[in-house]
Amino acid sequence: MVNVQSSNIGYPRIGEKREWKRALESFWNGNISEEKLLATTDAIRLENLRKQKELGVDLIPVGDFSLYDHVLDTSVMFGVVPKRFEYKGGKVSLETYFAIARGNKDAVASEMTKWFNTNYHYIVPELEGVTPKLVENRPLTFYKEAKEKLGIYGKPVLLGPVTYIKLARTENFSSLLQQFTPLYIQVLKELAEAGAQWVQVDEPILTSKLSSEELEQVKQVYAAIQEAVPELNIILQTYFEKVANYEAVAALPVKGLGLDFVHGDSLELLQKYGFPKDKVLFAGVIDGRNVWRADLDKKVALLNEIQTYVEKDRLIVQPSASLLHVPVSTKLEERLDQVIKGGLAFADEKLTEIVLLSKGVHEGAVAIEEGLEASRNALSVLNNSKYRQNAKVKGNIEKLIEQDVNRTLPFAERIKKQQQRFNLPLLPTTTIGSLPQTPEVRQTRSKWRKGEITDQAYEQFVQQQIEKWIKIQEEIGIDVLVHGEFERTDMVEYFGEKFDGFAVSQFGWVQSYGSRCVKPPLILGDVAFSEPITVKESVYAQSLTKKPVKGMLTGPVTILNWSFVRDDIPRFDVLNQIAYALRQEIEELEKNGIGMIQVDEPAIREGLPLDPEKSDEYLNAAVYAFKLATSSVKNDTQIHTHMCYSEFSGIIDSISALDADVISIETSRSHGEIISAFEKNTYDKEIGLGVYDIHSPRVPSKEEMKKNINRALQTIKPTQFWVNPDCGLKTRKEEETIEGLKVMLEAAKEVRESQLAIIQK
C-alpha cells in the first residue's frame, strides 16, 4: 500500500433534509409509486457516494444504504422470510420486505429491538424453519452501481454471518452458521469476480465474549472464506467496544481488522498483545456516535501511539462506527450560535477530519498544521464560553447527599396511600403518554415556530387538542389519562429546548427505526432548570376530568442517552445535572396538584456498556440519577416509568432499585418472551407489560390482547398488573389509535371480570 488511506464504515441514509423518510412515508401512504420511491432513494444513495468521493475518502462503503434496516436487508438477501408472509421464493418483493418490518392486515411484524447499545433498532431475523438461499446479491448490485455510475470502486459492506445469526437469538447457532457460510462465500466470490478489492464484513458481536466452541466455529467460517476467495481483502469490522477475545480474533485469516479506539479500550489491546504483521489496522479514531469536533491534537497523539505497534503502511484511518448514528452535515445549521456550530462535526465534517488525519499520518503533523490550528481555536472558544462556566450547577451537584435519593417510605407502605388516593379498579388501564401527532398538529407547530401564528393562538390550539383527547379517553373508558404531548416535537428534544445547557439543531436528524428519525439535542454546557416546562399543559388537562392525569417527563438516563453529550467532562456528571433539573420540574408538577408523574426511561438498557466489567458502574449511576430526580415527592404521589424494547433479564434488580411505583415495558413484538424475566425474578412493584404493538398500523383482535394479558397474569399478580399499549401513540393515525384503545379496553374489562370472579371465590 503506497499511501496511508482514509476509510468510512457507513454513511447516513436519510438525506440532508430527510428526503429518504418523506419518500418512504409517501409510498406507504399510497401517494407515490414503487418506481418513484426507488428513483428518489437511488438519487439519495448516489449523492451520498458522490459526496464522500469529493471529501477525499479513499475507501467508500457501498451496500450500507437501506430502505429500512440493514439486518432486514441481510435476511431478505438470503430469502429469510417468516412463513406467515407467504413468501414463494425468489427475490423478496418490496411489499413483503415492508410487511416483515411493519406487519400487514394478516400478519404481525417481526420483532424489533435495539442495535447493541445504540438508539437504532433492527428487525430480529426469524431463522427457525427457514432454509436460507442467496436470492439477491445486494452488495454486488451496489458495488456495480457505484462503479458504473460514479466511477467509484467502493468497499462493499455486509453484515457478517456470526453477528447476523447471533442477533437472531437462536439456539441453533452452529448448524445455522454451517448453512449460511456457503451463501456468504457465494456473495464474496461474485464480488471478487466483479473486481472488488476490499470487502467490509461487520462483526460487532465480537466485542462480546464467545465460548471457545463458538470461537472455533468462527475460525472455521473465516478459514473457509479465505480458502474459497483468497484474492479478496476481507476487513473484519468491529465497533462499539474493544474486541473481547482479541488474540483469537486477531489470528483469523483476514486481511484487515477494524477496531474502535473511541468507545473501546483498543489501545490497551495493542499494548498488551501487539498487532499481527500480516494485517492492516482500520483504526476507528474519530467518534462515529457523537457530534463534537475532535481534539485533533489528541487524535494525532493517539495515531502516533498506534504506529508503535503498526507501521503506517498498514494503518487506515476511519470513524469508530458507521456514521449512521450522526446527522449528515452542519452546513444547514444557520440558526445555531457560531460558538456552538464551530464545535460540531456531523458526518461530512467527521470525514474531513479523517482525511486530514490520514494525511497527517503519511506526511507528518506539520502538513496538517492549519487544520489542527482551526480545531484548537474552535474547541477553545466553546470550552471557554458561557455555556460551560455555570458555577451554580456545579455547586448544587457537589452538595448532593445520600438522603436526597430515597423516598421516605418503602413501596409496600407507599402503595397503600396511593391506592387510597386514586381508588383504581383491578387491572387499571392507561396509555404511555403521547397521542397522535396528526399533520394538523405538526403544521400548526411549524406555523407557530415560523411566527405565522401568535403564541396565544398556538396555546389555544394545543388546549383544543388536549380537550378533544381527554374526552376521547373518557368515552373509551381509560382509567388513568394523559394530556397527549401535542406541544412536544420529541420526548428528548422538547426538554433540550427548555433546560439551560442544551441547544437544538435544525437538521440534526438520525434514524431510530424504519422511517422514524429523531433529532437529539446537543448537551453543550452545564444543565440547569430555569422555569416549569410541563406544568401548564398537565394542569389544564387535569382540570378537564376527575380521573387522574399523568404528568409526563423524560427521565435523566434517556435524556443523556438520546442526546449528543458534551465530551469534555465525565458523562455521569452530566447525568446528575439532568437529574437535578428534572427533580425541580417534578416538584413543580406536584405543587400544582399532579399526583401521578411518569418519568420515562426507554433508553436505560440501551446505555448498558457492552463490556460487562463496566456494567455495574453504569447501572449504579442510572439508578442514582433516576432516584435523584424522583425521590423528593410525597408518598401518595405515584411515580411511573416506561421502558422500551430491550432484554431485561440481566437488569431486573436495577429496574427494581429505581423504586418507581409503576413500570410499563414494551413486550408485544417479542410475543411475551420478556415475561420469562419476571418468572425468574421476583418483582414486587406494579407493572404494565404492553398488550399491543403500536409500531405497526395493524390493530390486534380482542382475543390477541386478552391472550397477552392472561399470559402476563400467569407470572404477575392481578393486583400488580396495569393494561397499556406497548409505547406512545404519537406516530399512529387517530382512527388506528381509537380503535386500538377500544379493543384494549374491551379485553381488559373481560379479563378484569374473570379475575374478580376468581378472587370472589
Q: What is the full DSSP assignment across 320-364?
A: SS-GGGS-S-STT--SS-HHHHHTB--HHHHHHHHHHHHHHHHH-
Per-residue model confidence (pLDDT) at position 1 = 37
Per-residue model confidence (pLDDT) at position 425 = 96
**3-state SS assignment for residue 443:** helix
Question: How many beta carbons lie within 10 A of that of residue 720, not counting itself?
Answer: 19
Note the pTM of the prediction, 2 decimals. 0.89
Q: Is 305 a residue whose pLDDT tops 60?
A: yes
Phi-psi region of 748 (alpha: psi -120 to 50; beta: other; left: phi over 0): alpha
pLDDT, mean over the chain? 93
Angle at 29 between CA 26 and CA 33, to 5 degrees: 60
pLDDT band at 2 (very low <50, low <70, confident <90, very high): very low
Per-residue model confidence (pLDDT) at position 129 = 86
Per-residue model confidence (pLDDT) at position 4 = 57
CA dist 119 and 562 (Å) reads: 7
pLDDT digits (tens, 9 = 90+) for 693-746: 777 778 889 999 998 899 888 888 999 999 999 888 898 999 999 999 999 999
| Residue ranges of the binding site for L-homocysteine | 432-434, 485, 600
pLDDT digits (tens, 9 = 90+) for 143-158: 999 999 999 999 999 9
Per-residue model confidence (pLDDT) at position 669 = 55
Per-residue model confidence (pLDDT) at position 646 = 54
The pLDDT of 20-25, averaged and rounded, is 98
CA dist 593 and 258 (Å) reads: 55
Q: Which residues are catalytic?
A: 695
196 closest CA partner among 207, 187, 183, 206: 187
pLDDT band at 391 (very low <50, low <70, confident <90, very high): confident
pLDDT digits (tens, 9 = 90+) for 69-109: 999 999 999 999 999 999 999 999 999 999 999 999 999 99
CA dist 15 and 45 (Å) reads: 8
- Going by the DSSP 8-state scheme, the letter that residue 165 receives in this structure is H
Q: Please return the burial class of 734, using the count of CB atoms within 10 Å of its CB with bins 0-12, 13-18 and 19+.
A: middle
And the C-alpha cell for 675?
415475561
**Helix H segments across 29-67?**
34-55
CATH of domain 410-438+477-486+535-760: 3.20.20.210
pLDDT digits (tens, 9 = 90+) for 559-572: 999 999 999 999 99
Q: Is 673 a residue whose pLDDT tops 80?
A: no
140 closest CA partner among 107, 174, 94, 189: 189
Per-residue model confidence (pLDDT) at position 744 = 94
CA dist 431 and 446 (Å) reads: 26
**3-state SS assignment for residue 687:** strand
pLDDT band at 679 (very low <50, low <70, confident <90, very high): low
The pLDDT of 461-477, averaged and rounded, is 97
Give the residue carrying C-alpha cell 376527575: 546
pLDDT digits (tens, 9 = 90+) for 501-547: 999 999 999 999 999 999 999 999 999 999 999 999 999 999 999 99
Contacts 24+ apart (CB under 8 A), 675-682: 675/711, 675/712, 675/714, 675/715, 675/716, 676/649, 677/647, 677/648, 677/649, 677/652, 678/652, 678/715, 678/716, 679/715, 680/649, 681/649, 681/652, 681/653
Per-residue model confidence (pLDDT) at position 441 = 94
The pLDDT of 475-500, averaged and rounded, is 94
The CATH class, in words, for 5-323 is alpha beta
Fold agreement (5-323, 410-438+477-486+535-760): yes
- Dihedral of CA atoms 610, 616, 619, 625 in degrees, nearest 10, equals -130
Per-residue model confidence (pLDDT) at position 396 = 79
The residues, ordered by sequence, that sit 6+ positions from 94 with a Cβ below 8 Å of its Cβ are 34, 37, 67
pLDDT band at 672 (very low <50, low <70, confident <90, very high): low
Per-residue model confidence (pLDDT) at position 650 = 74
* Least confident among 40-54, 177-191, 671-685, 740-754: 671-685
pLDDT digits (tens, 9 = 90+) for 402-433: 667 899 999 999 999 999 999 999 999 999 99
Instruction: Kindly state the percentage of the chain with pLDDT values over 90.
Output: 85
Strand partners, 202: 159, 237
Q: One-letter amino acid identity for 627? A: K
CA dist 475 and 494 (Å) reads: 29
Instruction: Kindly state the percentage of the chain with pLDDT values over 70.
Output: 97
Q: Would you tell me the crossing angle of helices 212-228 and 173-193 to the nearest 10 degrees?
A: 20
- Dihedral of CA atoms 192, 196, 197, 202 in degrees, nearest 10, equals -90
CA dist 415 and 140 (Å) reads: 60
And the C-alpha cell for 341?
456550530
Per-residue model confidence (pLDDT) at position 630 = 97
The pLDDT of 293-314, averaged and rounded, is 96
Angle at 454 between CA 452 and CA 457, to 5 degrees: 110
Q: Where are the domains of the chain?
A: 5-323, 410-438+477-486+535-760
Q: Is 613 a residue whose pLDDT tops 80?
A: yes
Q: Are 333 and 506 in contact (CB under 8 A)?
A: yes
Q: What distances in angstroms separate CA 562 from CA 26, 284, 554, 589, one per listed residue?
A: 27, 22, 10, 24
